[in-house]
Amino acid sequence: KAQDKGPQEDEGKVFFVHDVKINVPRMKLRIFYIVFCFLLAGALHAQTANKNVKIIHTDSSKIVEGKASFYSKSLDGTRTAMGGTFSNKKFTAASNFFKLGTWVRVTRIATGESILVYINDRMHPSMAKRGRVIDLSHAAAEKLKFLVSGITKVMVESVEK
């Protein structure tokens, strides 16, 4: 029996286009399912991206806990997000958790030692996904004594200066 290539009257929801049978409710369900999976994957990624970062807002400051790393020496002389020239000899840092131009106190949790640095640059977004909250200049990392390990847990607090 030859099949009609138009809508099927008895089923109402099934029709043929270029010899392909299309069931409208199933197609809508599949599209919904695909969109739902993408949204769910994005939501799960957003939740796990910063699982190692803790943000606390107080009346007078913002405190962020996470990991600190430091700039490569090869970045000396490059342009910062504020338009200046980066120097590993200055007490500066990059962070996506504080406004540019903010002074912050960085405390190494393992030792309790702290320093003041100026936020003049931004980190690559992938750094935050790894739990990094601040990228310090070489001089600042040396003062906190984590040049050998490369990464350390810190508490970063905005301060008035």
Match 């406004």 to its residue by tokens.
Answer: 99
Contact (CB, 8 A) for 100 and 34: no
Q: pTM for the whole thing?
A: 0.66
Considering only CA atoms, which of 64, 73, 72, 74 is closest in space to residue 95?
Answer: 64
How many Cα atoms sit within 13 Å of 77 on the Cβ side?
A: 2
pLDDT tens digits, 97-128: 999 999 999 999 999 999 999 999 999 888 87
In the prediction, which pLDDT does 58 show? Answer: 75
Tokens of 7: 């809508």
Tokens of 61: 């400051």
More confident residue, 134 or 33: 134
- Label residue 7 by pLDDT band (50, 70, 90): low
DSSP states along the chain:
-PPPSS--TTTSSEEEETTEEEEHHHHHHHHHHHHHHHHHHHHHHHHHHTTT-EEEE-SS-EEEEEEEEE--GGGTTPBPTTSSB--TTSSEEE-SSS-TT-EEEEEETTT--EEEEEEEE---HHHHHTTEEEEE-HHHHHHTT-TTTS-EEEEEEEE--
